Amino acid sequence: MSQQACTPHAFNQKTFNACQTLRVLNSTIHWSYYPSKGTVDVAFSQAVVSDSRWVAWAINPTSTGMVGSQAIVAFRRTDGTMNIYSSPIKSYATRLEQGNLSFPLFDVSAIYENNQIVIFATIGLPNNVSVVNHVWQQGPLSGNIPQMHSVSGPNVQSFGTLDFLSGKVETIRRATSSVFKVKISHGIINTVSWGMLMPVGAIVARHFKAADPAWFHVHRACQMLGYLGGVAGFATGVWLGHKSSGIEYKGHRCIGITLMALATLQVLVALCLRPKKTDKRRVFWNWFHYLLGYGTIVLGVVNILKGFDILQPGKIWKISYLITIIVIGCVAVILEARKWLSLWKRKTAQAAEEKTDMPIEV
């Protein structure tokens, strides 16, 4: 989807060679591109409903969308002066902290006039590319502190590509982004494998051994499918990490690596080191198998929830998974209570029978 051209005009007596009206958030981008220098002068303007709003424009050298963007942020302070600074966006939980960008930035300034904020900057283009992924945004202020922008409507549509040479500005649809597709696949695969199949397999092993040997085949199928899905999810995570250089989700990554190591160890122990049922060491193997399995399930659920916070697919998806895992957990609790109640009744009946069989002293 192409944007509408606009008429270049002067800001503070500074003129630009080209401009385009962006499709959302009442924004316009003006620029002059210098191929021999590998630089571009930009003026990004955005209309704001009040002066208590921040605006930002960014180039994303590594991907599309917000994370990885190298942003220039501007807003009008409570005393009427302008504040403008650079901010590398490393996660969706960013607070727009000030920091250095991954490419050179010169002559940065901003003005507020006619209910719009205009950002000026000269940018040293990464590898002198003329086509860039860009993102623009706005949000509320609390005093002089930027707050979270809206996560629906125009605020999640404000990204695309910009060709400084031809003047072509296009929308990037998330559904066509290969990285975004892999992110979605990564989330779905891991949610189903670690977050559903693994817990169900554990419940089957714990509470359905009376249906021998069917329980074992179901348990093994759930765990192996879960593990293979986990391997695929881990592989997509490694690929995404490679494609997102400089962007780190340390907690999510560390748990993922630990999860993969524990699950692999569990598979090796189950397939290669399982003693026979008559072996005296079987009780120790059972405890190790239980602890490793339940630990893997807990870590898997925790990391899935972290993944939802990173990907931000929409609250309905996280809520749906929470409902699913709560239902699975409730089923496990009910079955566990039933198991212990049955055990208590059996012991009570056995004790009563033993008391009845005791000889009566005369």
Q: What is d(CA 245, CA 147) in angstroms, rounded to the nearest whole number?
A: 26
Q: Which of 132, 144, 112 is nearest to 45 (CA)?
A: 112
Residues in binding site? 186, 219, 252, 289
Tokens 């958030």 sit on residue: 25
The count of C-alpha atoms lying within 13 angstroms of the C-alpha of 210, restricted to the half-sphere facing its C-beta, is 3
Q: What is d(CA 111, CA 25) in angstroms, rounded to the nearest whole number?
A: 18
Q: What is d(CA 100, CA 84) in angstroms, rounded to the nearest whole number?
A: 13
Enumerate residues 6+ apart whose C-beta is below 8 A from 37.
none
Contact 226, 201 (CB under 8 A): yes
Residues in binding site for heme b? 186, 219, 252, 289
The DSSP output letter for 91 is S
User: What is each CA distance from 112 to 44, 50, 53, in whole angstroms?
Assistant: 12, 11, 11
Q: Which of 258, 76, 53, 48 is nearest to 147 (CA)?
A: 53
Q: What is d(CA 40, CA 31) in angstroms, rounded to the nearest whole number?
A: 7
Tokens 């400089």 sit on residue: 246
How buried is residue 155: exposed, middle or buried, by Cβ count under 10 Å (0-12/13-18/19+)? middle
The DSSP output letter for 156 is G
Report the SS3 class of residue 84.
strand
Q: Which two tokens stand for residue 166?
A: 């031809």
Contact 147, 75 (CB under 8 A): no
